[in-house]
């Protein structure tokens, strides 16, 4: 768990097929609340948790994967995009950041660097139009606060630079 590369896989049973014809154009960023990447792996491996994400990034920048990108991970819950689309899990990739989500626990530079690297990699495989914090697509609004303390400016330039599309987070 202390080695950043290659990415290790810890498969989660809490996933299923995306709907026929679904096009991945969104990434949802979360905070785990759980304290460590090991705790997250155990939580996503447990069938009774009913939750997962595609990736988790530790505080030190270690990235692990739980669900292949072509499958639907169960991370966004009841959700709605600003453009009105619901069932965000259908067309999104979920990334968890290990963080207590108390608004005080910092997101270390190593973790944000790894997030940016992962986002660039995802964007090389999918025409991503939106990168949104979970709190921005949770339905009803206010249902979720994660990732509390995350600064959207850390990632806003990625879409603007590479595609010219709005980030969808404003
Ligand atoms: Zn979340």
* R_g of the chain computed on alpha carbons: 15
Looking at the predicted structure, is the pLDDT value of residue 124 above 90? Answer: yes
Give residue-wise pLDDT tens across range 51-97: 999 999 999 999 999 999 999 999 999 999 999 999 999 999 999 99
Nearest to 52 by CA among 27, 80, 22, 30: 30
**What is the pTM assigned to this prediction?**
0.92
Q: Can 161 be counted among the known catalytic residues?
A: no
| pLDDT at 163 (0 to 100) | 54
Q: What's the 38 CA to ligand 1 centre distance in angstroms?
A: 17
**Torsion angle in degrees (nearest 10) through CA of 53, 47, 107, 138:** 60
Measured between alpha carbons, how far is 69 from 2 in angstroms, rounded to an integer? 23
pLDDT at position 88 is 98
Angle made by CA atoms 66, 67, 72, in degrees to the nearest 5: 145
Domain spans in the chain, listed from the N-terminal domain onward: 8-162
Q: Ligand 1 centre from 157 Cα, in Å?
A: 22
Which of 35, 96, 152, 161 does the annotation list as catalytic? 96
> Residues near 136 by Cβ (< 8 Å), separated by ≥ 6?
82, 169
Task: Determine the average pLDDT of the residues in 107-129.
Answer: 97
Work out the pLDDT band at 169, boundaries 50, 70, 90.
very low
- Distance from Cα 134 to the centre of ligand 1, integer Å: 5
**Tens digits of per-residue pLDDT, 55-67?**
999 999 999 999 9
CATH for 8-162, options being 3.40.80.10, 3.30.70.2740, 3.40.50.1100, 3.40.50.720: 3.40.80.10
């Amino acid at each position: 768990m202390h080695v950043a590369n290659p990415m290790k896989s810890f498969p989660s049973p809490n996933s299923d097929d995306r709907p026929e014809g679904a096009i991945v154009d969104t990434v949802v960023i979360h905070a785990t609340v759980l304290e460590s990447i090991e705790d997250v792996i155990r939580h996503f491996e447990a069938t009774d948790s009913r939750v997962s994400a595609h990736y988790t990034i530790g505080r030190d920048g270690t990235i692990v994967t739980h669900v292949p990108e072509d499958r639907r991970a169960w991370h966004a819950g009841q959700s709605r995009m600003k453009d009105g689309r619901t069932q965000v899990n259908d067309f999104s990739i979920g990334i968890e950041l290990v963080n207590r989500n108390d608004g005080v626990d910092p997101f270390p530079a190593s973790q944000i660097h790894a997030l940016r690297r992962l986002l660039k990699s995802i964007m090389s495989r999918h025409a991503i139009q939106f990168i949104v914090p979970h709190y921005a697509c949770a339905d009803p609004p206010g249902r979720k606060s994660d990732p509390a303390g995350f600064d959207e400016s850390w990632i806003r330039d990625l879409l603007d630079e590479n595609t010219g599309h709005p980030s969808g987070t404003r």
